[in-house]
Structure 1
Amino acid sequence: MSAELSPIDKAKFAAAKRAVQYVEDGMRVGLGTGSTAAWMVRCLGEMVREEGLQIKGVPTSTRTADLARQMGIEVVTLDEAKWLDVTIDGADEFDGQLNLIKGGGGALLQEKIVATASDMMVVIADAAKEVAQLGAFPLPVEVVPFGWQTTRALIEETLVGMDVLGRTTTLRLNGQKPFLTDENNYIVDLHLNRIGDPRQLALVLNQIPGVVENGLFIDICDVVVIGQGDGRVEVRDINEGTIAHDQVDFGDSANIFTDLD
């Protein structure tokens, strides 16, 4: 079945399959949101069914919660778990310091809360997500609906003093209506092209009234697992300063592919 997957899906699956090796019996695990994270949830579900793995999963979105339950993973809230052993999630971009842009799927607020409530954050990605400097992917900023146009204007005014190449902003839509996050907020996407100082930008954006959170994850990610379409994976540990290589076998995971639509 895996032969029917695109190279990019194979790369995402390879990264997810390697990343779940960080999960041990009895752990409390943050479950990320997005296409790559969905592979991780499927891999964990297989471990629950086939190996008897017992974990408590804290999802970062309603759609991840639905998938986790479908895969047989026990789902609890962060308040119930209180603290997590590890969070595994995807990223829209990551740089050499493992700083991230996240929020392409609209779940950045819950993703950041869960990731920072974890002993370790593991990011799974394909090689195309690595960049020399963040910013090619639009930076999501979650804002409250009340006065959102004023908040957007303040963001644009703030960007004038930032080290960025672009300053265009757009309200994310779902059809003809504003996209709503799980917390019923809006998302304004910042088309910056290049972010010269991600740490400064993250701090400044969160000082703007109406801004709930931004998609810059600074000093949060501990490990990135980069998958390739042929099953090769590279594991970078920012704390240990190590880079390791591994090979994922697609053939032993037929159950994951059989329930794909």
Structure 2
Amino acid sequence: MFQEERMQLIIEHLRKHNRISADDIVSLFDVSRDTARRDLIKLEEQDAIIRTRGGAILPVPPDEHRSYKDRLLHISDEKRAIGKLAAAIVRQGEHIILDSSTTVQTCAENLNGKSCTVITNSIYSAELLSNHTAVQIRLLGGKVDKEQRYVYGTSVIETLSHYYVDKAFIGIGGITMDGFSASEEEGKIKHKMMLAAKQVIVLADHSKFDKRYGYRFADWSLVDVLITDQWPSQDWRTFLTEQQVEILIPEPTIEKEL
């Protein structure tokens, strides 16, 4: 059997069973473990799979590929808890940036009573914050993505280069130790938002870890704080300590550290 045929069968197996191990490939196709490893490496290079320890899974379609309305309907309690904690660290009088992700939108929902200035490309967050009398809103101008409810384009990126803010709150499509990824259009904007801030806070629930999406837009050197819903693995905690990134977990889901 040629490698291309075997790789297609590996994908079909993943679609039925969600994951596959190197041992499964050895058993199913009567090949060596080195051959199984080469197949997985080739599939990863084609962005067809995400390699895991000992095997692989299929990539999950990112939120960017779903309509904003659909994404709003599926905001989890974990994301809401992350947003509430993010809002709690905003200080009176600060200038902050909020990106267009639904997790960051939950931060906007909890800013009521905070006297601050919000710069955003999210149409939804701007509408939401218009009911918060203490919040000053600066909606970035550019092309409007009606489906995803955000403003994008070169004018947004250029305008962001003139801002210098206290904090930027950034939602993520995928997180690896190599950095952060999202759709290309949003990724370019997120990167510029990070550069404009004294402190960068990434908001991401546990499902975003070890996921890669189409466009890598930043590495960990730009990040100061990670707010997530549960403690990551010990390998991740060691890595984040090395990167000098502070981890914040909402109180209701704090797990006791070993």
Question: Does 1 or 2 have the higher relative contact order (CA < 8 Å, sep 6+)?
Answer: 1
Judging by fraction of residues, say which structure has more helix. 2
TM-score, length-scaled by structure 2: 0.50
Greater C-alpha Rg? 2
